[in-house]
Amino acid sequence: MKIIVDRSKCSGIGICESLAPQYFEIAEDGNLALLREAFAQADRLIVESAVSACPARALAITEEK
Q: Which domains does the chain have, with CATH numbers?
A: 2-62 (3.30.70.20)
Tell whether the model's pLDDT for residue 65 goes beyond 60. no
Residues 61 and 36: their CA atoms lie apart, in Å, by: 13
Task: Report the pLDDT value the prediction gives residue 27, as an integer from 0 to 100.
Answer: 93
Predicted TM-score (pTM) of this structure: 0.90
**Per residue in 11-64, pLDDT tens?**
999 999 999 999 999 999 999 999 999 999 999 999 999 999 999 999 999 986
Task: Report the pLDDT value the prediction gives residue 35, as an integer from 0 to 100.
Answer: 97
Task: Report the pLDDT value the prediction gives residue 49, as an integer from 0 to 100.
Answer: 98
Task: Report the pLDDT value the prediction gives residue 12, as an integer from 0 to 100.
Answer: 94
Q: What are phi and psi of 41, to 5 degrees?
A: -55, -35
Nearest to 36 by CA among 11, 5, 65, 9: 5
How many residues comprise the chain? 65
